[in-house]
A and B are shown apart, each in its own frame.
Chain A
Amino acid sequence: MRLVCIVCPNSCLLEVEKTDAGVKVTGNKCKRGITFAIEEVTAPKRSLTTTVRTVFENFPVAPVRTNGEIPKEKIPAVMAYLKTVVADKRYKAGDVICGNVLDTGVDIIITIDMDQEG
């Protein structure tokens, strides 16, 4: 099957073949493409970027992201969970606001210094 690698903006067109020996990948410009292809056909993962609410009027929402990838099918559950998370202090970019979100082994980190005007 054909897949487009989404690891980086190069968007390599990958040819993925399932054989007895495992998964064979061609078309990748770097080795991250192989990992991506294998995961994509077995257990697809995505990083998630969104916002969380804050208690600050001039900074109503703060941007966050997963600091690794989570199973694709868990995105709705993580989004639902993040509805309940509120940033109640002025976090810095990189600070963890929510560790090991929904037992994915991945943290939710703030991606901006919140000590600025909104």
Chain B
Amino acid sequence: MADYKAVVIGGGPAGLAAALAAADKGAGTLIIERENRLGGILKQCIHDGFGVIRFGEKLSGCEYAQRFIDKVKAHPGIEVRLLTFVIDIKKSDIFTITATSSRGIETITAENLIFANGCRERTARQVNIHGTRPAGVMTAGVAQNYVNLQGVLPGKRCVILGSGDIGLIMARRLTLEGARVLGVYEAKSTPSGLTRNIVQCLHDFDIPLHLSKTVKRVFGHGRLEAVEVCSVNDKMEYIDGTEEIIPCDTLIVSVGLIPENELAESLNIPLDPRTRGPFVDQNMMTLEDGVYSVGNCLHVHDLVDYVSETAETAGRAAAGSKAPRELLDIEQEGFLYLVPQKLDLDSLAPETVFYFRTAMPREAATLDVTVDGEVVFSKKYQNLKPPEMERVEVPLSPKKGQTVKFFLSGREVK
């Protein structure tokens, strides 16, 4: 007998929703959170736009998290351990988790595990930025923590690398607090963030966006003194002679998020190189029976609403009784990625929810789903962009041995 039916690792939006769904189904549930508060990264996401789909409201990240936190705290079926860090997981017929906290080293057993431990930011050095190592070079998340949680401003004159949503949001945030944002640089030829953020974070404050340009080097010993920006071609190679030195004291890098799966890897759970998260079935169960993956450690989402949705799917499944699975691979073409990548034929609902990103910007696109070559589902899209994740419900009931294929087509937008 395990201590808990479900142990959720991570108390951010994914973990909170998964725990609630599991506990609602009667599962004894534990949330293990490494920080001193629930909410995960939403604690520092004070901007709004969260919950439009789920609540029909534009909440701030903190508020969105608060709604779940309130429910978790009130739920008799959920225990929470804060400032508790998982150091080891062993698998037998149940899972044995070893965790450290101010109480000491504890072992906790679980029937099911739900990984909800989020992602980390790619750093300046991981995008090949060279030069010195001064203060003033930081990821957007670090800047956000300083400004929104600690109430300090990390710089006066800022350059932002990366047009992902966090970079754009931070451009506005720093501007509102008095810093001067000199420009946002994006190595790709199209912005990475949502268009609405380009408008309300950059255009509203006259912050220039420079596409196909990147930061190559940084200067300064104590504090950052300048950055060298440079144009790049579509192969991301520097174009000689386009270098330009921009004096500034802060470089904020927002160059992508990497799902954190070190714990999953320690259990030898296979990861999808496209998502950098585990392969999962429609219940968000990984290829290891009883282990689920949700939220940004499964794949990096752009909307928290979908994080909650998938987490609930996993939570509900983890509350159910264990049954052998009949897994079917889904073939895919034209996607950056598609989740889930597998179907458990033994637990199929009439409709299965899929999340995907297109491999490239497309117009007049079509999603076709075929079973043994026959189109069983088709959907048209006016516009598809890689930064914007799509959600689609597909009625699917293939049989064992059949071939299921997702195919995305449409005019590529240059």
Whether chains A and B associate is: yes
Bound together, the chains give a CA A63 to CA B37 distance in angstroms of 15
A113 touches B66 (CB 8 A): yes
User: Does A93 lie within 8 Å of B62, measured CB to CB?
Assistant: yes
Contacting residues, chain A, for B69 (C-beta < 8 A): 113
Mask of A42-73 contacts with B, CB within 8 angstroms, 1/0? 00001111110100000011011100000010
CB proximity of B357 to chain A, nearest CB, Å? 14
Asked if B148 is at the interface (CB within 8 A of a chain A CB), the reply is: yes
Known: A60-B150, A79-B176. A49 touches B60 (CB 8 A): yes
Question: Which of B193-201, B211-219, B393-401 contacts the other chain?
Answer: B193-201
**Per-residue 0/1 for B16-54: is the Cβ within 8 Å of any A Cβ (1 yes, 0 no)?**
000000000000000000001100000100111100110
Q: Is the CB of B199 within 8 A of A8?
A: no
| B273 within 8 Å of A (CB atoms) | no
Instruction: Provide the B79-93 mask, 1 if CB < 8 A to any CB of A, else 0.
Output: 000000000000000
B349 within 8 A of A: no
Which B residues touch A116, using CB under 8 A? 37
A117-B37 CB under 8 A given contacts A4-B199, A49-B47, A111-B62: yes
Residues of B contacting A7 with CB < 8 Å? 196
Q: Which residues of B contact A16 (CB under 8 A)?
A: none
- Name which residue of chain B comes closest to A82, CB basis: B176
* A46 touching B62 in the complex, CB below 8 Å, given contacts A9-B302, A9-B303, A61-B149: no
Pick from A48, A60, A65, A113: contact of B151, CB below 8 A.
A60
- Residues of A in contact (CB 8 Å), total 31
Q: Quick check: is A6 within 8 A (CB to CB) of the other chain? A: yes
Q: Contact flags (1/0) for A65-91 with B, using CB distance below 8 Å?
A: 100000010010001000000000000
- Measured CB to CB, the closest approach of chain A to B358, in angstroms, equals 15
Q: Within the assembled complex, what's the spacing in Å between the Cα atoms of A51 and B48?
A: 13
Q: Is the beta-carbon distance between B52 and A6 smaller than 8 angstroms? A: no
A46 and B204 contacting across the interface, CB-CB below 8 Å: yes
Residues of B within 8 A of A53 (CB): 151
CA distance A4 to B69 in the complex (A): 34
Q: How many A-B residue pairs have CB under 8 A?
A: 85
Contact of B60 with A65 in the complex, beta carbons under 8 Å: yes
Residue total for B at the interface (Cβ-Cβ under 8 A): 36
CA distance A111 to B45 in the complex (A): 11
Minimum C-beta distance from A4 to chain B (A): 5
| CB contact between B63 and one of A47, A50, A111 (< 8 Å): that residue | A111
Do the beta carbons of B52 and A4 come within 8 Å of each other? Answer: no
A41 CB to nearest chain B CB (Å): 14
A9 to B151, CA, bound (A): 28
Given contacts A47-B48, A79-B176, A111-B60, contact A63 B198 (CB under 8 A): no
| A118 contacts chain B at the CB level, 8 A cutoff | yes
Whole-angstrom distance from the CB of A68 to the nearest CB of chain B?
10
Q: Does A11 contact B (CB under 8 A)?
A: yes
Residue of B nearest to A116 (CB): B37
Within 8 A of A (CB), among B56-88: 58-60, 62-63, 66, 69-70
Q: Report if A5 contacts B (CB, 8 A).
A: yes
Q: How far is the CA of A72 from the CA of B199 in the complex (A)?
A: 13
With A50-B176, A79-B176 as contacts: A6 and B200 at CB distance below 8 Å: yes
Q: Are A6 and B196 in contact (CB under 8 A)?
A: yes
Between-chain CB contacts (< 8 Å), 28 pairs: A4-B199, A6-B196, A6-B200, A8-B53, A8-B58, A9-B194, A9-B388, A11-B196, A46-B200, A47-B48, A47-B58, A48-B176, A49-B46, A50-B46, A50-B173, A50-B176, A51-B46, A53-B151, A60-B150, A60-B151, A63-B62, A65-B60, A75-B176, A111-B46, A111-B62, A113-B70, A116-B37, A117-B37
Interface residues of A (CB under 8 A from B): 4-9, 11, 13, 46-51, 53, 60-61, 63-65, 72, 75, 79, 93-94, 111-113, 116-118
